[in-house]
């Protein structure tokens, strides 16, 4: 069982931009700092997350094979088909007609897809089997319960 992405078809990004206010440059994850005046800038999330708009898609993750890479069930992946996949990239691949998200391993002429969860096996192509890298994951969007 592998992390299969849903829905069946990727969702392309539209030409519309999503611009939201940014309060300050950073927020501490350790001890709080004294409050400062917060200048509110506007940040275009499309510009922040998308390099190649015509080749970028959003996919929702189903499963937990990539949890140790910080990718969890229900997260939304930003996938860029224009980025050339390299060893170590997290990629969306098509294996036996199904989408899956894994880390690409390419060494000494060997290719496999590695899970980021020790309970899931690597995907190594068998005789006659093809693994097609569909795109490179460039960002992961998370939603927290509110």
**Of 26, 33, 65, 126, which is the active-site residue?**
65
102: annotated active-site residue: yes
H or E segment to which residue 93 belongs: strand 90-95
User: Helix, strand, or coil here: 108?
Assistant: coil
> For residue 30, what is the DSSP state?
S
Q: Which residues contact 113 (CB under 8 A, 6 or more apart)?
A: 91, 93, 95, 100, 102, 103, 104, 105, 122, 123, 131
142: annotated active-site residue: no
Q: Cα(first)–Cα(last) distance of the chain, in Å? A: 31
**Of 102, 112, 126, 139, which is the active-site residue?**
102
Task: Return d(Cα 128, Cα 95) in angstroms, integer.
Answer: 12
Q: Which sequence positions are flagged as catalytic?
A: 65, 102
């Amino acid at each position: 069982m592998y992390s299969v992405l849903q829905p069946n078809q990727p969702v392309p990004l539209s030409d519309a931009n999503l611009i939201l206010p940014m309060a300050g440059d950073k927020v501490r994850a350790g001890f709080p700092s004294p409050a400062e005046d917060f200048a509110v800038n506007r940040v275009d999330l499309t510009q922040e997350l998308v390099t190649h708009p015509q080749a970028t898609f959003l996919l929702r993750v189903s499963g937990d094979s990539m949890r140790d890479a910080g990718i969890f069930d229900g997260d939304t992946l930003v996938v860029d088909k224009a980025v050339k996949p390299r060893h170590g990239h997290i990629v969306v691949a098509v294996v036996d007609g199904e989408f899956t998200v894994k880390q690409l391993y390419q060494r000494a002429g060997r290719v496999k897809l590695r899970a980021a969860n020790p309970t899931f096996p690597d995907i190594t192509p068998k005789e006659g089997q093809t693994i097609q890298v569909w795109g490179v994951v460039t960002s992961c969007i998370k939603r927290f319960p509110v």
